[in-house]
């Protein structure tokens, strides 16, 4: 399973970087979204994937029996998703405002700060 995931994540990163290199700010934001999702998938995968073994402790015991899935990366990914959601929501609003003010969906037209 991990090799397939690794390849899929690689493609996600590549696609995200490609989108971010485009001049359109809409594609830039889509690239950012894809990039943060790719990072989440990477955390999920790199921590090791365990099928069908939830980290539940049977009643009356102090530790789970046998190998179970690691709950920590899932908690980390969950946090990262929430953060990415908030930040990207901001980014979407930002490009909308920028589009209204600059009246162009083109990064090449945003040169006011480059003088």
Partner 1 sequence: MRPEVALPVLLPLLSGAISLLFWRSRPMQRFTAVAGNIGLLVVSLWLFTSVYQDGYVTIQMGGWEAPYGITLVADMLSAVMIVMTALIGMVIAIYSLASTGPDHEKFGYYPLMHLLLAGVAGAFLTGDIFNLYVWFEVMLVASFALLILGGEKAQMEGAIKYVTLNLLASVIFLTAIGLTYGMVGTLNMADIALRLHEAEHQGMVEVLAVMFMVAFGIKAAAFPLFFWLPASYHTPPVAVSALFAGLLTKVGVYALFRVFTLMFDDTLDYTQDLLIWGAALTMVTGVLGAAAQFEFRRILSFHIVSQIGYMILGLALYTPLAIAGGIFAVMHNIVVKTNLFLISGITRRLQGTYQLKKMGGLYKERPWLAVAFFLSAFSLAGIPPLSGFFAKFVIVRAGIEAEAYVVTGIALAVGLMTLYSMVKIWNEVFWKALPEDNLVPEQETVVGDDGRMVKPSLWLMTLPVGALAALSLLIGVFAEPLMLVMNLIGDQLMHPEGYIHAVMGGGVDVSEALIEAPASEEGTP
Task: Note whether 92 binds partner 1 by CB under 8 A.
Answer: no
Write out the binding residues for partner 1, residues 30-89 only, by CB under 8 A: 32, 35-36, 38-40, 42-44, 46-48, 70, 72-73, 76, 79-80, 83, 86-87
Q: 58-74 burial by CB neighbour count: b if 16+ within 10 A, else e?
A: eeeeeeeeeeebeeebe
Which of helix, strand or coil describes residue 97?
helix
* Spatial separation of the C-alpha atoms in residues 63 and 29, rounded to whole Å: 44
Sign of the C-alpha dihedral, residues 19, 24, 26, 32? positive
Residue closer to partner 1 by CB (options 56, 75) is 75
Interacting residues with partner 1 (CB under 8 A) = 20, 25, 28, 32, 35-36, 38-40, 42-44, 46-48, 70, 72-73, 76, 79-80, 83, 86-87, 90-91, 94-95, 97-98, 101-102, 107, 110-115
């Amino acid at each position: 399973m991990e090799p397939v995931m690794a390849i899929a994540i690689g493609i996600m990163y590549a696609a995200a970087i490609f989108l971010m290199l485009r001049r359109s700010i809409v594609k830039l934001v889509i690239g950012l979204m894809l990039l943060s999702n790719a990072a989440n998938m990477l955390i999920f995968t790199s921590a090791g994937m365990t099928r069908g073994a939830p980290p539940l402790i049977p009643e009356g015991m102090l530790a789970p029996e046998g190998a179970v899935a690691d709950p920590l990366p899932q908690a980390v990914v969950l946090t990262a998703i929430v953060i990415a959601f908030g930040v990207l929501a901001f980014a979407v609003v930002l490009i909308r405002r920028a589009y209204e003010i600059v009246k162009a969906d083109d990064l090449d037209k945003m040169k006011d700060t480059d003088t």
